Structure 1
């Protein structure tokens, strides 16, 4: 369900706006997730779990700093959307999606016009 490799993602917070994660890599196997990347706060690792129903629970650990919880689910188009929660009073939406370099990687069905 979730492809291992390069991903794109962002989080949003009041006063900060939308903040993209860079060099984001996620690995999925046997219900577990591991990964790493960086954003405007610093370098981080991801660790957590996923289900066959498309639910995802992650802990984002900034190196030498605080941790943030991410809870989300697949939106039906391959992206994971949900909310992150940090220190009391800090939370907001997030989205994660596989990085696609080539449209041939997209699951697009061929549609042909019928003859009348």
Structure 2
């Protein structure tokens, strides 16, 4: 059997680490606001790899992840430019953490699988059963207060 015949192990089965398109942003103190990024990541046997793009340019991603505690560490290498070191955690709602270009530049980031709602946005969900007419749970109408009442 030659090297080219070696079967490639399957991608990660843990739902926290789906291989495929991811989206997100990084934060940088010197440039306020969210700076979007698009990535295509592969998670396989503790190894994280991929590629992407953001406002700085095209980049490659190489690193590791842990199923035990959800920790993730990787290097984002801009093609023909500099490297950025990322460290974060995945708790089932994407990966969040910090990035650093030592020793001066650092900031935060958050990435998540494409198609998942942005985990940083608050979403309110309200559910209520509407009481049927005459149901004891129905709130009674308030009695009108006569003019001048309570003014004695």
Q: CA deviation at 1:15?
A: 2.3
Structure 1, unmatched stretches of 5+, are 103-112
Q: CA deviation at 1:54?
A: 0.6
Give the TM-score, by structure 1 length.
0.81
Structure number with the higher strand fraction is 1
* RMSD between aligned residues: 1.8
Equivalent residue number for residue 70 of structure 1: 86
Equivalent residue number for residue 34 of structure 1: 49
Equivalenced residues, count: 101
- Greater length-normalized contact order (CA 8 Å, ≥ 6 residues apart): 1
Give the TM-score, by structure 2 length.
0.62
Structure 2, unmatched stretches of 5+, are 1-13, 118-128, 130-152
- Alignment deviations for residues 47-104 of structure 1 (CA, whole Å, 9 cap, x no partner): 0000012100010000000000000001x342111000003210000011011179xx
